[in-house]
Amino acid sequence: MSSRLGGEHTKVLMIRLSGKGSVVTCDGIRRRDFLQVGALGALGWTLAHQAAARAAEPYQSGAGDKSCILIFNLGAPSQLDTFDMKPDAPREIRGPFKPIRTKSSEFEISEILPLHAAVADKFSLVRSCYHTAAAVHDTGHQMMQTGRLFTGGINTPHVGCALSYLKGRRSELPAHVILPETMGPTGGNMPHGQDAGFLGKAHDPFVLDADPSKKDFKVPDLLPPQEIGEARLERRRGLRQVVENSLRNFEASESAKLMDANFADAYRLMSSSQAREAFDLEREPEKVRDRYGRTRFGQSCLLARRLVERGVRFVTINTFITVFDEITWDIHGSKPFTSIAGMKDIVAPMYDKGYSALIEDLVQRGMLDNTLVAALAEFGRTPRINPTGGRDHWPQCWTVNFAGGGVKGGRVVGKSDEIGAYPAERPVQPKEIVATMYHALGLDLDTHLPGPAGRPFPLVDFGAQPIRELF
């Protein structure tokens, strides 16, 4: 199948799963590569192939030890106004924006993202994401960052936390960092999927809890001992001593071991010159900081690059913190939310600048091949514009994108229907997105974590599907 983009007849990659597990594209090419990771080769390998390949030929040095920057677009961008436009649909469907040509020959994107267009050969789109859970922010946050919905009281760990548990730190820096802070209220009362869940607090991410775009930006938990005061450290030591003296059997308990480990980690981080240097944006040239944009998101992207460059395995960037106190992708139209036009004027320029700068910077520094950049969201937006000039929640179909880390850029996976309402080809569930990140990071998808009550917990839940393939 092909589509007409900007007057040229361009083939679009669309991948589906057949009943026997083979991968076939619409242009007849079998097992054409979209994601190439480590020694695994081309797209479409089953886990049986994966295991056989690993037994025959282990990963080469560094090939299975990639990093990931996960950009979570809290609020959910409208697929019809960004990456999956429908210019031939009625106006109430297609919206006010026009598609523009990109550096990829396979797709166009919205005119509100011109800097994305210039790096479109570096990222690939998945236009057929969907889920069937409630159309509320919290459920999408959970599934897109853990692969599962919060049910039965089981809080599944974030991808970065599971990676931290399985691979540990590379340096004095934490394995997983969240910038600029964890998600706040989004209308529900459920976990957002940004902690270690049943793996325990010891594997929670390090959270910045500061705005890196501020002139007085500092990381409170990384201030050197002489700045936080010896008295504060002594109080911490004293509290630990009280607990040790009060509970005779405490020292042999798991709680004591966790306290010792957490205390050691905290002290190591506070006293680490490497950690302080990694978070010091003042070391970056002014023109670099300007290129990313002097916004909270832009400087978080720059900080993510610095952290990955210095050994952090996984960085999660929350584009926004909540849908209530600021203008976000949550474009319902009525106040306090913004309209589609507001997205163009406020949200898109900030995001366009920060994302494109990150991709360009990773390319220039030779880091993109070993850094997966996943730009995700919890759901999409209604195909029809509502009476207040916005679009509402729509988990039935939306678009995400991947760059680096083995992804072959400039491609399209999946296809939505003529109004961007439902997947028309290669429907993709959140667990497949999560599995792709694990796979790119060199983790065996058959791995089990120590789950609740000590029971083995599969890293990825493939259900009853007998043959599992990644896009």
Confidence of residue 11 (pLDDT cuts 50, 70, 90): very low
* Domain contains 134: yes
Contact 411, 106 (CB under 8 A): yes
- When pLDDT is cut at 50, 70 and 90, the band that residue 219 belongs to is confident
Domain membership flag for residue 135:
yes
What is the arithmetic mean of pLDDT over 394-422? 97
Does residue 297 sit within a domain? yes
**Tokens at 99, concatenated:** 């598609």
Residue 248 lies in a domain: no
Give the range among 72-81, 119-128, 257-266, 423-432 with minimum mean pLDDT.
Answer: 257-266
Residue 85 lies in a domain: yes
CATH of the domain at 425: 3.40.720.10
pLDDT at 15 over 80: no
pLDDT band at 233 (very low <50, low <70, confident <90, very high): low
Question: Does the structure show a pLDDT above 70 at 53?
Answer: no
Res. 32: pLDDT tops 70: no
Q: What is the pTM of this model?
A: 0.82
* Average pLDDT over every residue of 171-192: 94
pLDDT tens-digit readout, 364-407: 999 999 999 999 999 999 999 999 999 999 999 999 999 999 99
What confidence category does residue 42 fall into, taking pLDDT thresholds of 50, 70 and 90? Answer: very low
Q: Report CA 180 to chain centroid distance, whole Å.
A: 14
CA distance 157 to 202: 12
240 burial level (CB within 10 Å; 0-12, 13-18, 19+): middle
The residues, any chain, with a CB within 8 Å of residue 118's CB and separated by 6 or more, are 102, 103, 356
Q: What is the pLDDT of residue 261?
A: 58
**b/e string for 119-128 if b means 16 or more Cβ within 10 A?**
bbbbbbbbbb
- Is residue 471 in some structural domain? no
Residue 454 has pLDDT above 90, yes or no: no
Do 182 and 90 touch, CB atoms closer than 8 A? no
Q: Using DSSP, state whether 423 is helix, strand or coil.
A: strand
Percent of the chain with pLDDT over 70: 74
Answer whether 151's CB lies under 8 Å from 449's CB. Answer: no
DSSP 378: S
Q: Give the structural domain span for 76.
A: 2-56+65-224+271-458
Q: Is the pLDDT of residue 5 over 60?
A: no
d(CA 272, CA 282): 17
Decide if 137 contacts 74 (C-beta within 8 A).
yes
DSSP SS3 for 416: strand
Mean pLDDT of 178-191: 94
Q: Region 294-302: what's the mean pLDDT?
A: 98
Q: Residue 246: inside a domain, yes or no? A: no
Confidence band, pLDDT 50/70/90 cuts, at residue 218? confident
CA 345 – CA 299 distance, rounded (Å): 19
The total of structural domains in the chain comes to 1
Whole-number pLDDT of residue 396: 98
Residue 86 is predicted with a pLDDT of: 98
The beta strand positions in 417-469, using DSSP E, are: 423-425, 448-450, 456-458
CA distances 303 to 216, 270, 282, 318, 353, Å, are 15, 18, 11, 13, 15
Determine how β-strand 67-72 pairs with β-strand 23-25: unpaired
Answer whether residue 160 shows pLDDT above 50.
Answer: yes
373 within 8 A of 359, measured Cβ to Cβ: yes
- The answer to whether 442 and 38 are in contact (CB under 8 A) is yes
| 115-119, 383-387, 463-467: least confident range | 463-467
Asked whether the predicted pLDDT for residue 162 surpasses 80, the reply is yes
Average pLDDT across the chain, whole number: 82
Query: What is the reported pLDDT for 37?
Result: 35
Inside any domain, residue 290: yes
